[in-house]
Homo-oligomer: A and B are copies of this chain.
């Protein structure tokens, strides 16, 4: 007989620890799926494309994930936390302008270093967020509500120019993610010899600097 009831101490579900091969292939699949989903959207992407990108056969993909849907869900849920981290890090006890400027800088940095993730989210929301609306109405709204209240307190205390906290946050999202999501357009318009993200950094420093000045 065989000891079979392995319990994972972290979550109580019965999961065996991942083998080297499982770890390597799951990562390869998720990376390939990020590449393809972010460039094609969910419906536009195919398992064959993802398999080819990952260097695996299609049946082998489905050995590690039960369905196309499951791969997509795994990507989105894994990314939600990463995406919210910079906003989560905004400190109510810090200096108002510093905190908001730091948040903006971190979001721009994420756009530069994780453009595929940004485009994955953009694709999903553009298409009505059918597989993400729960997380948006839940975790995301809760976090934004919390941080918007913090900003509102700063405004009420006269420590910040009077701005609508929600639309301030939206403006940071819009401006920073634009450089990842519309990268092709930005580069085509600017032409060669430009560093869009570096220029955006300077521009956004000035824009938000002026917006938040008392």
A191: B residues at CB distance < 8 A: 141
On whether the beta carbons of A123 and B41 are closer than 8 Å, the reply is: yes
A133 at the interface (CB under 8 A from B): yes
How distant is A39 from chain B, measured CB to nearest CB, in Å? 6
Copies in the assembly, this chain: 2
User: Looking at chain A, what size class is its interface with the partner chain?
Assistant: 35 or more
A171 at the interface (CB under 8 A from B): yes
Q: With A44-B127, A190-B166 in contact, is A173–B178 under 8 Å at CB? A: yes
Q: With A170-B178, A178-B170, A210-B210 in contact, is A129–B43 under 8 Å at CB? A: no
Bound state CA distance, A157 and B133, in angstroms? 49
Residue of B nearest to A122 (CB): B126
Chain A residues close to B by CB (< 8 Å): 39-44, 119, 122-123, 125-129, 133, 136-137, 140-141, 144, 161, 163-164, 166-168, 170-171, 173-175, 177-179, 181-182, 184-186, 188-191, 199-200, 202-203, 206-207, 210-211, 213
